[in-house]
């Protein structure tokens, strides 16, 4: 039984990398910004909208640069659609803050600056996490949310 | 012990003839402790002496016979009462009668078959032991000596590499390769991961060794998975065309040989799990079974002749289907 005393640990041969691949832009570019909160409406019917801007080079998204306005309930809609139609464990949204909607508060309630910032940040985290999910990218609701001006709540759910 | 006055009793001691020269091997017991036991191979003779020492010299010890057994058995933890003996040999040392003084008995189990390796796991235990018994009317006196058996193999004739393309459509395509499909316990896994398409944001990649112990049959099959090792092989985001090398030394981990359907009672199998983790902590993984085997030490002149014979007995390997290039999908934790 003649076996080598030291194991052969040399690397396996591999193809040299193409330099355009090595130094070119990565194929996984996806950035979504949630910013510019604006209060819409008057009196008790007021609500806040946010700008949702997506920049990407992923081929699955029709537009490489898109910009839409969304409110909190739109994010809720998206979360519900994904939970119903896909097998994904959907990340949590920032809180609904029902207490802030009650009257007689000492602060601005739903329109308190620090609350809006907290919510904006949470929504940004949420949408980035979900948009990067390979299974979520197949859902029509995600594409409609990110790239169509308005959300058609009567749409036909399905895969892209 | 007799209830009336001082009955005679005895201590039993089992001593192997080659206790001075025989090697000992470490084996982890059920409670996690590591102890050393005499090491045997398949085909070796087990011989020694049984010393029966009377507790009270001068008094007689009446007995129903003295015997020694060599037993190989499988014990399922969920069914402790039932021991499945796959080797059971017995030698009678003395016919029923009486001992007037302490006595020593010789025994020899010649060229004993020991088909399986000793194994102590999460739900099952396979062990070999000698048991000397002095039979008595009310209660026997017995003593056990645990032994450890290793099964040896030699370099398999067929040992193809594992090479596969896996991925998630349009998101991630990789080709992974491991240099062999059968590794001995002190071997090195040499491989590489080649990235064909990267549309997700990978944070790092690791390779895990998973041990799966399977017990039970039919509808009562139970798998116990244990991650023996986690070894990071890449930190950072790769792009298309990059090759990440793998070099994983197995000697540093507590591994056993692959055990397939031992006496139709249990199996112990090993898997390499390649895991990629993205920036949102999502895990993409691909499991691949490998066969582990135990290599005999180089036969030295000082080794007993029997052990030399034993280390040359080969375990046949059925050829593993050649992996070739197949397209598989990753398992993807949602």
Nearest CA in chain A to B195: A17
Does residue B65 fall inside a structural domain?
Answer: yes
Q: Which of A2, A3, A7, A89 to mutate to test the interface with B (most CBs of B within 10 A)?
A: A7
Contact pairs from chain A to chain B, CB under 8 Å: 82
Q: Are residues B172 and B100 in the same domain?
A: no
The CA distance from A151 to the nearest CA of chain B, in Å, is 26
B186, two tokens: 């002190």
Q: Which of A9, A18, A137 sits opposite B241 (nearest CB)?
A: A18
What are the pLDDT digits (tens) for B217-248? 888 899 999 999 999 999 999 999 999 999 99
Q: Are residues B18 and B92 in the same domain?
A: yes
* Contact criterion met (CB < 8 Å) for A27 and B239: yes
Domains and CATH numbers, chain A: 25-145 (3.30.1520.10)
| Residue at a domain's end among B117, B149, B181 | B149
Average pLDDT of the residues in B79-102: 94
Residues written for chain B? 334
Determine the pLDDT at residue B57: 86
Q: How confident is the model at residue B333 (pLDDT cuts 50, 70, 90)?
A: low
Tell me the residue range of the domain where B179 lies.
162-293
Interchain contact A26–B (C-beta under 8 A): yes
Q: What interface predicted TM-score (ipTM) does this complex get?
A: 0.87
Does residue B315 fall inside a structural domain?
Answer: no
Which of A39-48, A102-111, B4-13, B112-121 shows the highest mean pLDDT?
B112-121
| Residue at a domain's end among B121, B149, B177 | B149
Cβ-based contacts of A9 with chain B (< 8 Å): 188, 190, 247
B333, two tokens: 């934790």
Does residue B300 fall inside a structural domain?
Answer: no
Q: Are residues B189 and B120 in the same domain?
A: no
Q: Are residues B39 and B85 in the same domain?
A: yes
Reported pTM: 0.86
Cβ-based contacts of B171 with chain A (< 8 Å): 134, 137
What are the pLDDT digits (tens) for B128-144? 999 999 999 889 999 99
Strands A47-56 and B172-178: unpaired
B216 contacts: CB under 8 Å, gap ≥ 6: B76, B222
In the predicted structure, residue B325 carries a pLDDT above the cut 60: no
CATH number of B259's domain: 2.60.40.640
CA distance B22 to B28: 19
Cβ-based contacts of B294 with chain A (< 8 Å): none
Q: Are residues B185 and B135 in the same domain?
A: no
Q: Are residues B280 and B166 in the same domain?
A: yes
DSSP secondary structure code for residue B295 in this structure: B
What are the pLDDT digits (tens) for B99-130? 999 999 999 999 999 999 999 999 999 999 99
Does residue B323 fall inside a structural domain?
Answer: no
Q: How confident is the model at residue B329 (pLDDT cuts 50, 70, 90)?
A: low
Interchain contact A114–B (C-beta under 8 A): no
Q: Which of A9, A19, A92 to mutate to test the interface with B (most CBs of B within 10 A)?
A: A9
Q: Are residues B16 and B142 in the same domain?
A: yes
Does residue B155 fall inside a structural domain?
Answer: no
Does residue B306 fall inside a structural domain?
Answer: no
* Contact criterion met (CB < 8 Å) for B239 and A14: no
Does residue B210 fall inside a structural domain?
Answer: yes
Interchain contact A12–B (C-beta under 8 A): yes
Nearest CA in chain B to A19: B241
Q: Are residues B136 and B237 in the same domain?
A: no
Q: How confident is the model at residue A104 (pLDDT cuts 50, 70, 90)?
A: confident
Does residue B317 fall inside a structural domain?
Answer: no
Task: Categorise residue B263: left if φ over 0, alpha if ψ from -120 to 50, beta otherwise.
Answer: left
Q: Count CA atoms within 13 Å of residue B26 on its CB side.
A: 6
Nearest CA in chain B to A129: B280
DSSP code per residue over chain A: ----SS---PPPP-PPPPHHHHHSPPTT-EEEEEEEEEEESSGGG-EEEEEEEEEE--TTSS-SEEEEEEEHHHHHHHHHHHHHHS---PPPPPP--GGGGSSS-SS-GGG-HHHHHHHHHHHHHHHHHHHT-TTGGGBHHHHHHHHSSS--TT----B-
Determine the pLDDT at residue B196: 94
In the predicted structure, residue A44 carries a pLDDT above the cut 90: no
* Contact criterion met (CB < 8 Å) for B295 and A3: yes
* Contact criterion met (CB < 8 Å) for A21 and B241: yes
Mean pLDDT of chain A: 91
In the predicted structure, residue B323 carries a pLDDT above the cut 50: no
A150 contacts: CB under 8 Å, gap ≥ 6: none
Interchain contact A1–B (C-beta under 8 A): yes
Average pLDDT of the residues in B74-85: 92
Q: Are residues B107 and B219 in the same domain?
A: no
The total number of structural domains that make up chain B:
2
Nearest CA in chain B to A83: B334
* Contact criterion met (CB < 8 Å) for B190 and A89: no
Q: Which of B155, B239, B334 sits opposite A22 (nearest CB)?
A: B239
Cβ-based contacts of A18 with chain B (< 8 Å): 240-241
Q: Are residues B113 and B221 in the same domain?
A: no
Residue B314 and residue B153 in contact, taking contact as beta carbons nearer than 8 Å: yes
Determine the pLDDT at residue B5: 56
* Contact criterion met (CB < 8 Å) for A28 and B295: no
The CA distance from A134 to the nearest CA of chain B, in Å, is 7
Beta bridge partners of B163: B177
Q: Are residues B85 and B174 in the same domain?
A: no
Q: Are residues B74 and B170 in the same domain?
A: no
């Amino acid at each position: 039984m003649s076996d080598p005393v030291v194991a052969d640990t040399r690397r396996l041969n591999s193809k040299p990398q193409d330099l355009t691949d090595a130094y070119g832009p990565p194929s996984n570019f996806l950035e979504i910004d949630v910013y510019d909160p604006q209060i819409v409406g008057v009196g008790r019917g007021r609500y806040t909208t946010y700008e949702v801007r997506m920049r990407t080079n992923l081929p699955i998204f029709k537009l490489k640069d898109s910009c839409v306005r969304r409110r909190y309930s739109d994010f809720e809609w998206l979360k519900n659609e994904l939970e119903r139609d896909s097998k994904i464990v959907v990340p949590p949204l920032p809180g609904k803050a029902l207490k802030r909607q009650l009257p007689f508060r000492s602060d601005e309630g739903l329109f308190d600056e620090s609350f809006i910032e907290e919510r904006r940040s949470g929504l940004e985290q949420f949408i980035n996490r979900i948009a990067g999910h390979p299974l979520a990218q197949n859902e029509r609701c995600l594409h409609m949310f990110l790239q169509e001006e308005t959300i058609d709540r009567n749409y036909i759910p399905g895969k892209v | 012990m007799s209830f009336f006055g001082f009955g005679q009793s005895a201590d039993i001691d089992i001593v192997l003839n080659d206790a001075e020269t025989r090697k000992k091997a470490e084996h982890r017991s059920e409670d996690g402790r590591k102890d050393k036991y005499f090491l045997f191979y398949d085909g070796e003779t087990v011989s020694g002496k049984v010393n029966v020492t009377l507790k009270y010299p001068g008094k007689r010890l009446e007995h129903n016979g003295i015997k020694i057994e060599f037993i190989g058995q499988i014990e399922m933890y969920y069914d402790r009462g039932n021991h499945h003996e796959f080797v059971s040999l017995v030698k009678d040392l003395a016919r029923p009668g009486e001992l007037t003084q302490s006595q020593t008995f010789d025994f020899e189990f010649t060229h004993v078959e020991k088909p399986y390796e000793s194994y102590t796991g999460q739900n099952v235990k396979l062990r070999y032991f000698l048991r000397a018994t002095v039979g008595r009317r009310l209660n026997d006196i017995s003593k056990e000596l645990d032994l450890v058996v290793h099964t040896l193999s030699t370099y398999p004739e067929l040992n193809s590499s594992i090479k596969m393309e896996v991925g998630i459509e349009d998101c991630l395509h990789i080709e992974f390769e491991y240099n062999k499909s059968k590794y001995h316990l002190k071997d090195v896994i040499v491989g590489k991961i080649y990235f064909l398409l990267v549309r997700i944001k990978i944070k790092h990649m690791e390779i895990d060794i998973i041990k799966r112990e399977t017990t039970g049959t039919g509808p009562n099959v139970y798998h116990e998975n244990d991650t023996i090792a986690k070894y990071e092989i890449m930190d950072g985001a790769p792009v298309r065309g990059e090759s990440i090398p793998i070099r994983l030394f197995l000697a540093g981990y507590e591994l056993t040989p692959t055990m397939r359907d031992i006496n139709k009672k249990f199996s112990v199998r090993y898997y390499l799990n390649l895991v990629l983790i993205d920036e949102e902590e999502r895990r993409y993984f691909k499991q691949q079974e490998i066969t582990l085997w135990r290599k005999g030490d180089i036969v030295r002149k000082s080794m007993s002749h029997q052990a030399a014979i034993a280390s040359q007995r080969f375990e046949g390997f059925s050829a593993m289907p050649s992996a070739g290039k197949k397209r598989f999908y990753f398992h993807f934790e949602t």
